Amino acid sequence: MVSFRRTYYDWHRVLEMIRHSQQTEEEIPYRLDEFLGARLERGH
């Protein structure tokens, strides 16, 4: 059986991290596409 639960998280902070990862040259363990940030911002 699968169940879904909503969990609060600071999505503004996640969006900020996504955008920062696109602008930096430093080696970081994540580099998410801005497409994901745009979806997060729109709520989809």
For 1-44, the pLDDT digits (tens) are 999 998 888 888 888 887 877 766 666 666 677 777 788 788 75
The ranges assigned to domains in the chain are 11-23+31-42
pLDDT for 24 equals 65
DSSP structural state of residue 21: H
Please give the pLDDT value at position 38: 82
Q: Write the secondary structure of 16-34 as one string of H (helix), E (strand) and C (coil).
A: HHHHHHHHCCCCCCCCCCH
Q: What pTM did the predictor assign?
A: 0.54
Residue 37 is given by DSSP the state: H
